[in-house]
Amino acid sequence: MSSDKSIRDALQEKSGFQVWWRMIRPHTLTASFAPVFIGTMIASLETGIHFGLFIAMLLASMLIQAATNMFNEYYDFKKGLDNDQSVGIGGTIVRDGVSPERVRNLAFIFYGIAVLLGFYICLETTFWIAVIGSVSMLFGYLYTGGPIPIAYTPFGELFSGFFMGTVIIGISFFIQTGDVTGELLLLTIPIAVLIGAILLANNIRDLEGDKEHGRKTLAILVGRDNAIRVLAGFFIFAYLCAVIFMAIGMMPIWGLIVFLSAKKAFDAVKTFKENDTPLQMMPAMKYTAQTNTFYGLLYGLSFLLAHVFTL
C-alpha cells in the first residue's frame, strides 16, 4: 500500500473527479485537436469556414482519442501489462479501483457520441466520411485490442501518425472545401511524424516493461539509445519539412513561428538521454507532447495569419 501511495504522490494523482479526468489522458488530446485545427486553417485559404463542421469534427476526434486511451487502459490491464506501479497511464483501474468493464463501456459510449457527430458531418458533406471514420475507429480499437494489437508491434508510430495526423487533417480540410489535394497530403507529413514521436517517447519510457511482456515495439527493436536518436530525427525532420514547404511556397513565411516550439523538442531528447527510469523520464514524455501541441498550433496559426493578412 505504501508503494501505491508513493507512486500516487510522485505522479500527483488525486481522487474524485480527477480519476475520470485522468482516464481520458487529457494531455494526449492535443494530438487530435491540432490536426483538426490545422486542416481547417489550411482550408481557410480557399473557403469560408463552416464552424458547425469544425466543432463537430473537433469533438468527434477528441472523443475517439479519449476512447482509444480507455481501450488502451482496459486491454493493457487485461493482458497484465499495468500494475499499481505503472506510470504513463490513467491509473483508473489499477490504482483507483474503477472496474475494467466500466472503462471499456465508457469507451464505447464515447465512440457512440462520435458516430452521432459523424452522422451530422455526413449529412452536411458526404457519407464517404462515414467509411473513413469507421476505419479510423476500428484501428483505434485494434491499437491495443484484437489478436495482434498494433501497439505491441513496430508499426504503432506509423499507424498512429497516419490516422491521427494525415487522415484527420485530410478529413478536416475536405469537409470545408469538398476536396483533398496532393499538396495538402504533403503538408500533413510533419504532423504525422510528431504524433508518431509521442508514441515513440512512450515506448522509450516503457521499453523494459514492454520487453518483459513480449512486445516488439520500434524502441525495443532498435534499442534505447538508437530510439532516442530516432526521436531526435523525428523532431529534426518535422522542422526541416517546414523550411522546405516555405521555400517552395506551400507554406506561408509565417511558418517560421513553428521554431518557437523547438526548445521543447530539445528538452525531450536531453531528458531521455540523462534519465533511465520510467518516473524520471515522465518529463521527457511531457516535453514530447508539448512539442506536438505547440508545433501543431503554430503550424495551423501560420495559415490563419496568411488568411487574415490577405483579406
Q: Does residue 95 surpass a pLDDT of 80?
A: no
Amino acid at 140: G
Q: Residue ranges per domain, the chain?
A: 16-308
Task: Report how far apart the first and last C-alpha atoms of the chain are (Å, whole number).
Answer: 62
The three grid cell numbers given for residue 277, joined into one nine-digit string? 527510469
Residues 202-242 pLDDT 10s: 999 989 888 887 889 999 999 999 999 999 999 999 999 99
Mean pLDDT of 128-150: 86
Contact 51, 112 (CB under 8 A): no
Regarding predicted confidence, which is higher, 94 or 109?
109
pLDDT at 299: 97
Regarding predicted confidence, which is higher, 257 or 77?
257
Burial class (CB in 10 A: 0-12, 13-18, 19+), 127: exposed
pLDDT at 278: 85
Residues 238-292 pLDDT 10s: 999 999 999 999 999 999 999 999 999 999 999 999 998 988 898 999 999 999 9
Rounded to whole angstroms, how far apart are CA atoms 296 and 278?
26
Rounded to whole angstroms, how far apart are CA atoms 107 and 206?
24
Give me the CATH code for the 16-308 domain, please: 1.10.600
pLDDT at 189: 97
pLDDT at 56: 96
Q: Does residue 125 surpass a pLDDT of 80?
A: yes
Contact 157, 237 (CB under 8 A): no
- The CA angle 78-197-205, to the nearest 5 degrees, is 50
Residues 5-33 pLDDT 10s: 555 555 555 555 677 777 777 777 878 88
